[in-house]
Structure 1
């Protein structure tokens, strides 16, 4: 099962990524000014993963990606996939694992210190 990971960027905005059970980033969000909006969108994605649309795209370098859409609004953009088969597997993972994913908040104090 994967996990949503919330982090705070250097410009004081928040962002989340959804990582697979192997720790690979599957998709990442836009930036949010407030953490509360980031958390709300994670819950919305978890609750609506079964009806989410994944619009497929092909990049100019030949890789594939998708945009996660719910009710015509984009919530996240996937990582790049080398083949259409891997893209299809990445999309299938959304419906299977996202609703059960845990949320990890690393936006507070530094997690990795010297």
Structure 2
């Protein structure tokens, strides 16, 4: 089972990562100014991860495939790692779809 892990920077900002059942990070959020906003971001991932149209399939300047998960308003709510192939990126998207809805939330504050 996957999990969300919330961390806090020294300046008080919060970030979450979504980890697959094997512990690999599959999605990283932006930095949020409040924990409540971070919690809302997690709920947005749960909701939007079930809609394939919310995944922007992109390529970095060095040619590595990656993806962004976007909310209904078009704002990016999470970014993947850089993958070695398009197939690996698709596997990452499927992992987010599978893990996000029921992932437990952990905190490392």
TM-score exceeds 0.5: yes
Give CA deviations for 1:2-47 in whole Å, capped at 9, x if unaligned: 1110000122210001111111111101111110110111122213
Gaps of 5+ in 2: none
Contact (CA 8 Å) 2:44, 2:77: kept in 1 or not?
Answer: no
1:69-84 equivalences under 5 Å are: 69-71=70-72, 72-84=74-86
Partner in structure 2 of residue 99 of structure 1: 101
SS, match of residue 83 in structure 2? coil
The higher radius of gyration belongs to 1
Aligned residues: 107
Contact (CA 8 Å) 2:66, 2:83: kept in 1 or not?
Answer: yes
Compute the TM-score of the two structures, normalised by the length of structure 1: 0.87
Partner in structure 1 of residue 27 of structure 2: 27
- Greater Cα shift, 32-41 or 51-60: 51-60
SS, match of residue 15 in structure 2? strand
SS, match of residue 99 in structure 1? coil
Compute the TM-score of the two structures, normalised by the length of structure 2: 0.90
CA root-mean-square deviation: 1.3
